Chains A and B, each alone.
Chain A
Amino acid sequence: MLDHILSILIFFPALAAVLGFAIQKDSIRAYGVAVATVEFALSLWLWFSFDSDVSGMQFMEQLPLVPAFGINYILGVDGISLFIIIMAAFFTMIGIASLTDTKDEKNMIITLLFLQMTMVGVFVALDAIVFYIFWELSLVPMLYIIGAWGGPLRVYASVKFFLYTFTGSLVMLVGMLFMAYFYFQATGTWSFAILDWYRLILPESFQLWLFVAFFIGFAIKVPMFPFHTWLPYAHGQAPTIGSVILAAILLKMGTYAFIRFSLPLFPDASVFYMYPIAVLAIIMIIYTAMVAYAQKDIKQLVAYSSVSHMGVIILGTFALNVEGISGSVFLMIAHGIVSGALFLLVGVIYDRRHTKMMSEFGGLAHVMPRYATIFAIMMMAAVGMPLMINFVGEFLSLLGFYQQSHILTLLAGIAIIVGAIYMLAAYKKMFFGIVTNEANRNLPDVNKRELVALIPLVIITIWLGVYPKPILEPINNSVESIVQLMHDKSITEEAKSRIPNLVKAIEITRTSAQGAN
């Protein structure tokens, strides 16, 4: 069973979703929770059987699909993707378990299970075409979730989300086809396998163009400034569960793809575009944080804050050293947990008051102390308090990028200031002061069902903040192999010097040790 665990992880939820149509309406939630729990248990089993010391792919599966063009169904998992998969399973589980007040619950749960299939698929696919298929398929359930269960502007938001990201991925598809063609020209055989592509060294001019093609697809997904405007609409209109999954998992597809495709395939282009992308990332960080500060709607604020944090992830990715990339992968997990939790928290108050306007609240700390406490913990995690999960990622990302540029890191570091400004201002507006609005006077505090979702998130936030090693170690090993690959593949002098050579570092210590002897 372990040989095919990745396929099981992908197709078990899909199969369960199909069977779900046959389930009675009133037992669908139990069914959904059961399926998601089994899936989560499977993903934990995957982690348990995962060998942290191996830096390469594990649990590989291969099945030819179109042999003539080298399209194969290849799956595999490494330290970078492992935890995102677990997180996807986790969020689907608590998302279904804490689903409240939803019309047409059955279809929602079935859609979520389909979404889970596509999410897992994206992160385990090692063939560009399979990756692309899951990448695009993931749009469909999300389109439904926003379009069918969303707010008043849901149709506009969902269509915008779909078309925008779809357009980007088409450009990416073209890039993939070119890449495969170059591979064919170089080796005489077709292949879409990413691991095969890793071995291909492209001339710098090709890299530059292909990098851009992939970049457009990924950047819209992340979303990077100035391609971010679909996100506030999508979050603003999506139901709570949609926002949670979107922020926690779907956005990570973009940053994950940067690490899986852009960096190892185009090391020289990555170095070439490092500064422009860093500047974009800094604009993302500061600009969207300021926009977040201006928001009146708490959910929009969290949405913009997501964009701001994604900027730090991008920056860490393009630090092109082990510290930075490990940090950015870790921050992907961290941001998933924290922003997911924040969206759940916004959902809690929305369920009670059916408004997300901050001006409607005030003094909630008197009425809902437990809610205020959990919100405060998550807020502090979001602003990067040490010993909480976000800090580790942010610290490493910025630390990594500091090697590349001092002044840009200083600018990016403003994130910790502007982040605190909008978060604290929002917290003050909602929770502090006296209760002015009569409607808020008798709000019930968080109930058990909500706590089921929130408490695990709080625990993870603190646990991984204090002891990030279980996650950081496998990430580190996989990232080291990617960085080494990038260094070996790079052609230009600049790239060679920017991307550290890990082998050399080890050799030097060895020789010095020998010298000492």
Chain B
Amino acid sequence: MELYLYIALFSPLVGSLFAALFAASPKSLIAGVVPSLLLFTSFVASTILLVNILSGGDIVHVEMMTWIATGNLYIPFGFVVDQVSITMMMVVTVVSTVVHVYSIGYMDHDKSFNRFFAWLSAFVFSMMILVMSDNFAGLFIGWEGVGLCSWGLIGFWYHKESATWAANEAFIMNRIADLGMLIGIFLVYWNTGTLQYDEAFAVMPALNSEILTWMGIFLFVGAMGKSAQFPLHTWLADAMEGPTPVSALIHAATMVTAGVYLVVRANPLYDLIPHVGLFIASLGAFVALFAASMALVNRDMKRIIAYSTLSQLGYMFVAAGLGAYWVALFHLMAHAFFKALLFLGAGNVMHAMHDELDPFKMGGLKKPLKWTFIMMTLASVALAGIYPFAGFFSKDLILEVSLIEHHYIIYSVLLFTAGLTAFYSFRLVALIFHGEERYKLFGIDPHEAYKFVLIAMSPLLILAIIAGSFKMTYFEMVTAVLPATQYHVHSVVTYWIMTIGTQLFVLLAIAFAYKKYANNRITVPNGTSKMENRLCYKILSNQYYIPYVYEEYISKPYRELSEVFWKHVDMKVVDASVDGIANIIYSTGEKTRTMQSGNLSTMLKWMVAGTVALLSLAVVFGLAVRYSDEIKLIFSGLGVQ
């Protein structure tokens, strides 16, 4: 089984290096095909590992080699394939294989085709390290690695100012969180003496709760960055500057869920500190609502989906925070499938519309983009959580968890958000595919994507529909390592009322969205309509002015302070005082050299003056020594010690 582990892990790396060989040369199809094939290999290897685990095989745990060893610290490159990591591996390999194949079509006309695949496969490799590592340091390698690849892929079209800006923003904001993560790792090391998951978690119950709380908080700060939780969320929407396959793979399915994975992985820790868990759940519920509200009014197709991702991440954190780790992981998996599908569909639309992102300028695309329409609609249905699609099983479960755990506020927030989710998802579908064909005003002739692209997307479609049916198999598998709490509402009546109520609520929201946006009266907003001038619309469309606040009150002062530090502090204080000392010495010499007039009688005068001065000093000292007792007496009389 070890061989399969290595194959699963290293095929993406080989693919990446292979594509990188061609990075500087013009587009060659092979640079896209080979990484895709290697990823498929990785997928197959992961499947074999999954089958092994499902059939009751042992957890595969290998230690490849030592990485860092000094003092008491010992960090190996160790990898573990257990029930949790195999779930993540499956998600990662499935989505990334699909995205790779999709990208061969999507990036067809891009001159940096080869470079794209080098980055994309490198990302998958980092993500595999992240999920497969058996220790915190290895996790951190993957953590930073995906950050790096995300930087390279968001800024892939580096000629665009907005893209490079977003790339840097994402990287730096993640770095802020990574500091928290790093501190969390230090805490783990100095308190447990190891960074291996199993050993560290085994020691943790013996530690005092204050230390554990700090550990939990700092590790979660790391998770907040990667999973774009408030207040570090702004980068995710801006990251949509990257190519759409990237958004599908990184900013929907895999990387952003790394935070959830971390909390799930550290479940023995978070089980010990339920108050931190409650905080995580509350923050998650807040983000779910907060992000959904921004998605309501946005006019950028990809940003809407990004906010939706953010909102769903909030759901996952609610589950993870409340201790329902397997539920969080399950929603993570289901979400990865339908959200990636949604993004890839959006990519098709973008291609057809020549990179137009405003859904108000589309409309009626269901005819030219029939398959994309079907896929996106089904993905939206899954996202909205309609029975029997994947979202129903995972999302309803989270609602149930919050109800059963008696967190009614969280429950009602999430229920309300479920309605919002349905509304904005179908607002998007309605605006893009239904109603009048507004795109004709802009002289665009949309075409459906390549066939193989559509076929490549189909596995995701199938998974988005049927993923819910794996629930019990999945439950039995992961609860081997995660707390196996079954969440059942005790009374059957409540359960049915709840489920049907939720379904009705969501359906109503969908119907409302269709009614409002699928008609022929929709026009491209021009900033004059009554709704656009409402205060709440403005707040929402400006993302609560948070990016503005960050720019005005953090970035700008930082820039200005840097200038001040350089021009005023470093140049005018620190360096000037060094030069000042040198100048004092220099000018002393300059002034006293007039003494050296060369005139013999002046020099003789100085000589005499010097002799007199030295003699007087000698006399003074001599007297002082002779009368030292008296002098001491006088001083002590004056109160000097």
Partner pick for A476 among B67, B70, B175, B190, CB 8 A cutoff: B70
Partner pick for B179 among A380, A414, A469, CB 8 A cutoff: A414
Q: Does B491 lie at the interface of the complex (its beta carbon under 8 Å from any beta carbon of A)? A: no
Instruction: Decide if the interface of chain B is mainly helix, strand, loop or mixed.
Output: helix
Contact present for B565 and A366 (CB under 8 Å)? no
**Residues A434 and B159 in contact in the complex (CB < 8 Å), given A398-B182, A420-B171, A420-B175:** yes
Q: Mark A410-421, 1 if CB is under 8 A from B, else 0.
A: 100110110011
Q: Which residue of A lies closest to B560 (CB)?
A: A294
Q: Which residue of B lies closest to A330 (CB)?
A: B70
Q: Does A151 lie at the interface of the complex (its beta carbon under 8 Å from any beta carbon of B)? A: no
Binds A, one of B30-38, B138-146, B234-242, B319-327: B138-146
Partner pick for A432 among B141, B164, B187, B578, CB 8 A cutoff: B164
Binds A, one of B514-522, B524-532, B567-575: B567-575
Q: Does B609 lie at the interface of the complex (its beta carbon under 8 Å from any beta carbon of A)? A: no
A379 to B319, CA, bound (A): 39
Contact present for B561 and A424 (CB under 8 Å)? no
Determine which residue in B137, B151, B168 has the highest number of CB atoms from chain A within 10 A of its CB, and name it: B168
Q: Does B509 lie at the interface of the complex (its beta carbon under 8 Å from any beta carbon of A)? A: no
List B contacts of A476 (CB < 8 A). 69-71
**Residues A467 and B565 in contact in the complex (CB < 8 Å), given A420-B175, A424-B172, A432-B158:** no
Contact present for A432 and B155 (CB under 8 Å)? yes
A403 to B187, CA, bound (A): 9
Q: Which residue of B lies closest to A380 (CB)?
A: B148
A395 to B65, CA, bound (A): 19
Q: Could you tell me which residues of chain B, from 57 to 115, have a CB within 8 Å of some CB in chain A?
A: 65-73
**Residues A480 and B145 in contact in the complex (CB < 8 Å), given A398-B182, A409-B183, A432-B158:** no
Q: Does B566 lie at the interface of the complex (its beta carbon under 8 Å from any beta carbon of A)? A: yes
**Residues A323 and B69 in contact in the complex (CB < 8 Å), given A229-B570, A420-B172:** no
Q: Which residue of B lies closest to A469 (CB)?
A: B66
Q: Does A369 lie at the interface of the complex (its beta carbon under 8 Å from any beta carbon of B)? A: yes
Q: Could you tell me which residues of chain B, from 161 to 200, have a CB within 8 Å of some CB in chain A?
A: 161, 164-165, 167-168, 171-172, 175-176, 178-179, 182-183, 185-187, 189-190
**Shortest Cβ distance from residue A245 to the other chain B in the assembled complex, whole angstroms:** 23
Contact present for A413 and B70 (CB under 8 Å)? no
Q: Which residue of B lies closest to A403 (CB)?
A: B190
**Residues A294 and B565 in contact in the complex (CB < 8 Å), given A398-B186, A428-B168:** yes
Contact present for B23 and A290 (CB under 8 Å)? no
Q: Does A291 lie at the interface of the complex (its beta carbon under 8 Å from any beta carbon of B)? A: yes
Contact present for A468 and B172 (CB under 8 Å)? no
Contact present for B172 and A421 (CB under 8 Å)? yes
Contact present for A417 and B68 (CB under 8 Å)? no
Q: Which residue of A lies closest to B71 (CB)?
A: A322
Q: Which residue of A lies closest to B115 (CB)?
A: A369
Q: Does B621 lie at the interface of the complex (its beta carbon under 8 Å from any beta carbon of A)? A: no
Q: Does B630 lie at the interface of the complex (its beta carbon under 8 Å from any beta carbon of A)? A: no
Determine which residue in B144, B566, B569 has the highest number of CB atoms from chain A within 10 A of its CB, and name it: B566
Q: Which residue of B lies closest to A428 (CB)?
A: B164
Q: Does A94 lie at the interface of the complex (its beta carbon under 8 Å from any beta carbon of B)? A: no
Q: Mark A240-259, 1 if CB is under 8 A from B, else 0.
A: 00000000000000000000
List A contacts of B408 (CB < 8 A). none
Q: Mark A104-137, 1 if CB is under 8 A from B, else 0.
A: 0000000000000000000000000000000000
Binds B, one of A49-57, A384-392, A491-499: A384-392
Contact present for A226 and B574 (CB under 8 Å)? yes
Q: Could you tell me which residues of chain A, from 407 to 456, have a CB within 8 Å of some CB in chain B?
A: 409-410, 413-414, 416-417, 420-421, 424-425, 428, 431-434
**Residues A469 and B69 in contact in the complex (CB < 8 Å), given A290-B558, A291-B565, A293-B559:** yes
Partner pick for A369 among B23, B570, B575, B582, CB 8 A cutoff: B23
A480 to B73, CA, bound (A): 13
Q: Does B562 lie at the interface of the complex (its beta carbon under 8 Å from any beta carbon of A)? A: yes
Partner pick for B159 among A229, A392, A433, A467, CB 8 A cutoff: A433
List B contacts of A432 (CB < 8 A). 155, 158-159, 161, 164
**Residues A402 and B68 in contact in the complex (CB < 8 Å), given A291-B562, A428-B164:** no
List B contacts of A160 (CB < 8 A). 582
A473 to B73, CA, bound (A): 12
Contact present for B71 and A326 (CB under 8 Å)? yes
A389 to B155, CA, bound (A): 24
**Shortest Cβ distance from residue A433 to the other chain B in the assembled complex, whole angstroms:** 6
List B contacts of A11 (CB < 8 A). none
Contact present for A323 and B141 (CB under 8 Å)? no
Partner pick for A399 among B23, B148, B186, B582, CB 8 A cutoff: B186
A295 to B563, CA, bound (A): 8
Q: Does A95 lie at the interface of the complex (its beta carbon under 8 Å from any beta carbon of B)? A: no
Q: Could you tell me which residues of chain A, from 358 to 416, have a CB within 8 Å of some CB in chain B?
A: 363, 365-366, 369-370, 373, 380, 385-387, 391-392, 395-396, 398-400, 402-403, 406, 409-410, 413-414, 416
A467 to B140, CA, bound (A): 16
Q: Does A327 lie at the interface of the complex (its beta carbon under 8 Å from any beta carbon of B)? A: yes
Contact present for B70 and A290 (CB under 8 Å)? no
Contact present for B168 and A424 (CB under 8 Å)? yes
Contact present for B70 and A322 (CB under 8 Å)? yes
List A contacts of B24 (CB < 8 A). 369-370, 373
**Shortest Cβ distance from residue B264 to the other chain A in the assembled complex, whole angstroms:** 22
List A contacts of B186 (CB < 8 A). 398-399, 402, 409
20 pairs across A/B with beta carbons < 8 Å? A163-B582, A226-B574, A228-B574, A287-B565, A291-B570, A293-B559, A294-B559, A322-B71, A323-B73, A369-B23, A380-B148, A386-B140, A402-B186, A413-B183, A428-B168, A432-B155, A432-B158, A433-B159, A433-B164, A467-B67
Chain A residues with CB under 8 Å of chain B are 160, 163-164, 225-230, 287, 290-291, 293-295, 321-323, 326-327, 363, 365-366, 369-370, 373, 380, 385-387, 391-392, 395-396, 398-400, 402-403, 406, 409-410, 413-414, 416-417, 420-421, 424-425, 428, 431-434, 466-469, 472-473, 475-476, 479-480, 505
